Structure 1
Amino acid sequence: MTRLVFLPHQTICPDGIVIEANPGESICEAALRNGLEIEHACEMSCACTTCHVYVREGFDALEEADELEEDYLDKAWGVEPDSRLSCQALVTDRDLVVEIPKYTINMVSEQH
């Protein structure tokens, strides 16, 4: 199992949380399976940017984003060099430190 350390987020995980993820599982899948209600308006089909995250540590352990993911990241709020769509970033055997941005481009939460 791989450890995913989620940094504190005001509404989703105010104290931060450490979860276990399976290699090959997306960051979003692991978060949802562990009760972290990360937004994912397109049901993890790489058709929006609501699951945008920053991979603060371990970014280089992830496979590179494909062209479709890069196109959507261009539309995300607050993109940084370590940005990924959590539905597309597949966990390897290396631990990650993840930060959920304060905002998404979604005006209303989908309440998944």
Structure 2
Amino acid sequence: MTTIKILPHAEYCPQGATLNVTPGTSICEALLENHINIEHACDMSCACTTCHVIVREGFKSLNEMEETEEDLLDRAWGLEPNSRLSCQAIVAQQDLVVEIPKYSINHAKENH
């Protein structure tokens, strides 16, 4: 199992969280399975940026980013060099520290 430490986020995870995740799971799936209801307006099909996260530790252990994800990330709010779309970032065996940005480009929240 891989540990993902989620940094506190006022809306989604006010206290922060520590998740135990099976390698091969996307960060988005791990969050949702643990009741951290991050936005994912495109239902994890790599068509939006609402599930954008910043990987503070363990970034290099994730799968390589594909061109579609790179192109979409250019539109994400608060983009940083270690940003990923959580629906595309697949957990390996190295522990991660993940931050959910304060905002997304979504103007209306989805009811997922």
TM-score by length of 2: 0.98
**C-alpha displacement at 1:20, in angstroms?**
1.1
Provide runs of 4+ in structure 1 moved above 2 Å: none
1:58 counterpart = 2:94: no
Partner SS, residue 10 of structure 1? coil
The sequence identity of aligned pairs, in percent, is: 63
CA–CA separation in structure 2 for the residues paired with 1:55 and 1:78: 13
Distance (Å, rounded) in 1 between the aligned partners of 2:16 and 2:3: 13
Tell me which residue corresponds to 2:111: 111
Residue equivalent to 2:89: 89
Counterpart of 2:68 in structure 1 is 68
Q: In structure 2, what is the equivalent of residue 10 of structure 1?
A: 10
- Give the distance between the partners of 1:111 and 1:82, measured in 2 at CA: 28
Q: 1:40 offset after TM fit, Å?
A: 0.3
> What is the CA deviation profile of residues 19-49 of structure 1, one whole-angstrom value per residue up to 9, with x for unaligned ones?
1111111000011011110110000000000
Determine helix, strand or coil for the equivalent of 1:18: strand
Partners of 1:111 and 1:102 in 2: CA distance = 18
RMSD: 0.6
Distance 1:64 1:77 in 2: 21
Instruction: Please list every run of 5 or more consecutive structure 1 residues that lacks an aligned counterpart in the other structure.
Output: none
Q: How many residues are matched?
A: 112
TM-score (norm 1): 0.98
How many angstroms apart in 1 are the aligned matches of 2:45 and 2:21? Answer: 19
Greater shift in the superposed pair: 93-102 or 57-66: 57-66
Gaps in structure 2 of 5+ consecutive residues: none
- Report the Cα offset of residue 101 of structure 1: 0.2
Give the corresponding residue for 1:19: 19
Once the two structures are superposed, what CA deviation does each residue of 1:26-75 show, in whole Å capped at 9, x if it has no partner? 00001101111011000000000000000000001112211000010011
Which amino acid in 2 is paired with 1:13?
A: C
Kindly report which structure 2 residues correspond to 1:21-60, keeping only aligned pairs within 5 A, or say none: 21-60=21-60
